[in-house]
Amino acid sequence: MTTLDHRADGSAAMSAVRYAATRDGSVAYRVITGDADAPQDFVLLLSGTASMEALLEDPIGHRLLYGLAKMGRVAVFDRRGIGLSDSPASWDGPVSTRWCEDIEAVVAAARLVRPAMVSGLGSGSVAILYCDRHRDEVTSSIMVEPAGIRIDAESIRAQLAGEMDSIARWCPSRAAEPGFREWFTRAGQAGASPRAAERAYSNATDDELRAIELAAARTAVPTLIVRRPGNPLSPRRDDDPMTALVAGSVRVDLPGEDLLLFGGEVDPLLAEVSRFVVGRYLNPEPERILAAILFSDLVASTQRATELGDAQWKRQLDRHDDIATSCVNQHGGTVVDTTGDGILARFASATGAVRGGLALRSALHDEGLEVRIGIHAGDIEQRDAKISGIAVHIAARIMSAAGNAEILTSETVRLLATGSGIDFADRGEHALKGVSDPWRLHAVASASSGSQ
């Protein structure tokens, strides 16, 4: 398989855009492969006018795709008239039938084996019809906040006219997220023109609706209906039209208030999908992890650079970086970034971070360099090889409060290092710039073993 994109941990790969042929045009699709030994295939049915390419630009959409791919393979596609796919030769005829033909073409072209269908707010009806037509060729169906089979034409008109705040209605948790509104608008506009959008949202005929209702009543495919009751538009459990319509369906309620597939609470959704489809919880790699963060900074580096001159100072900094990497790695850490005359490193444990700091201070002292170090432990965000989050900022502020050749830590680090043989000296409470409330800091006094 030709791959264009790899996750940082190498766990999944995405194919180039490919095309599946239908009777009157081509359907663009991609396949993301996670665990090559996992047996489950998925088809993700997007609704609205956002294309699959736009979904990959959104961090939660990206996490949704790769979370599904952890169970095997997932195919995502643009139905005809949307994104990279051809427009149909004619817009006449049942919408759901045309959509089912698109799915059939993608399943055949990608050689998917008994896929599970994952559908969102506006594509549940199509999933019902497809599963009825291919009941022996589908593992299961997962419908996330499926709407009723009749489209609310007035809401669609108001959305296309810009008279309704779609994000506040369907994805309120992301309404204030920086850049999300811009992405949402751009994705919708790039996926289809206003005229094409009207056709994509067109309501089903009476005959089509009856066919969907009959298909739902006789479905033989295991069906999971996922709801987020925190949104007032999500139906109550005892008054859910879709659980009443789809024979034998199971409903699971999740935390959160978003109705869209790429809403904020995507990890609980992936956990329930994996439990329903493969029989066990398979969570994606966490975006937030607990880590110990170390910042270091050379003391009087400007003066030292002036004394040595640019060329010699550069060689000194190269030597500093080599020493820092060695000291950090030897104590279970990773240098995340260099800051010119210091480092940012993360460790799996607070004890490892303190001992790594002690080793760094000692090794640099032997080189005629003094360093100040700040250490804190807390949740961090992982973005490829970079890290971010308030815990990183706190560690930087603690370093700024340290004196020459001093290693300062937060109270959190001291508590986590209990029983490690490391002694701390209380340095009292400090106001850390940009951080609320005073923080009690401690200096590393000594350690019973490890680097000194």
- In this prediction, residue 361 carries a pLDDT of 93
At residue 404, does pLDDT exceed 70? yes
Which of 128-137, 191-200, 423-432 comes out lowest in average pLDDT? 191-200
- In this prediction, residue 161 carries a pLDDT of 63
Q: Which of 83, 120, 101, 103 lies closest to 41 in space, CA to CA?
A: 103
- In this prediction, residue 176 carries a pLDDT of 92
- In this prediction, residue 272 carries a pLDDT of 94
- In this prediction, residue 8 carries a pLDDT of 41
What are the two backbone dihedrals, phi and then psi, of residue 405, each rounded to the nearest 5 degrees? 60, 25
At residue 180, does pLDDT exceed 70? yes
- In this prediction, residue 52 carries a pLDDT of 94
At residue 411, does pLDDT exceed 80? yes
74-125 pLDDT, tens digit per residue, is 999 999 999 999 998 888 888 888 999 999 999 999 999 999 999 998 899 9
pLDDT grade, residue 9 (50/70/90)? very low
- In this prediction, residue 376 carries a pLDDT of 96
pLDDT grade, residue 314 (50/70/90)? confident
- In this prediction, residue 7 carries a pLDDT of 44
At residue 53, does pLDDT exceed 50? yes
- In this prediction, residue 203 carries a pLDDT of 61
- Per-residue pLDDT, averaged over 61-72, amounts to 91
At residue 4, does pLDDT exceed 50? no
Q: Which residues pair with residue 358 across a beta bridge?
A: none
Residue with the larger pLDDT of the pair 253 and 204 = 253
274-290 pLDDT, tens digit per residue, is 999 988 887 777 778 89
pLDDT grade, residue 10 (50/70/90)? very low
HEC string of 59-92 equals HHHHHHHHHHHCCEEEEEECCCCCCCCCCCCCCC
- Per-residue pLDDT, averaged over 199-216, amounts to 79
Residue with the larger pLDDT of the pair 9 and 330 = 330
- Per-residue pLDDT, averaged over 195-214, amounts to 77
- In this prediction, residue 36 carries a pLDDT of 62
Q: What percent of the chain has pLDDT over 90?
A: 58
- In this prediction, residue 322 carries a pLDDT of 92
Which of 65-69, 264-268, 354-358: highest mean pLDDT? 354-358
- In this prediction, residue 6 carries a pLDDT of 43
Superfamily name and number for 3-278: Alpha/Beta hydrolase fold, catalytic domain (3.40.50.1820)
At residue 25, does pLDDT exceed 70? yes
At residue 302, does pLDDT exceed 90? no
- Per-residue pLDDT, averaged over 185-197, amounts to 84
At residue 384, does pLDDT exceed 70? no
pLDDT grade, residue 313 (50/70/90)? confident
At residue 332, does pLDDT exceed 80? yes
Q: What percent of the chain has pLDDT over 70?
A: 91
124-179 pLDDT, tens digit per residue, is 999 999 999 999 999 999 999 998 655 555 666 666 666 778 899 999 999 999 89
- In this prediction, residue 449 carries a pLDDT of 57
- Per-residue pLDDT, averaged over 226-241, amounts to 93
- Give me Rg for the CA atoms of the chain: 28
- In this prediction, residue 101 carries a pLDDT of 95
- Per-residue pLDDT, averaged over 2-18, amounts to 62
**Separation of alpha carbons 59 and 65, rounded Å:** 10
At residue 450, does pLDDT exceed 50? no
pLDDT grade, residue 2 (50/70/90)? very low
Q: Which CATH architecture has domain 288-447?
A: 2-Layer Sandwich (3.30)
Give domain limits for the chain.
3-278, 288-447
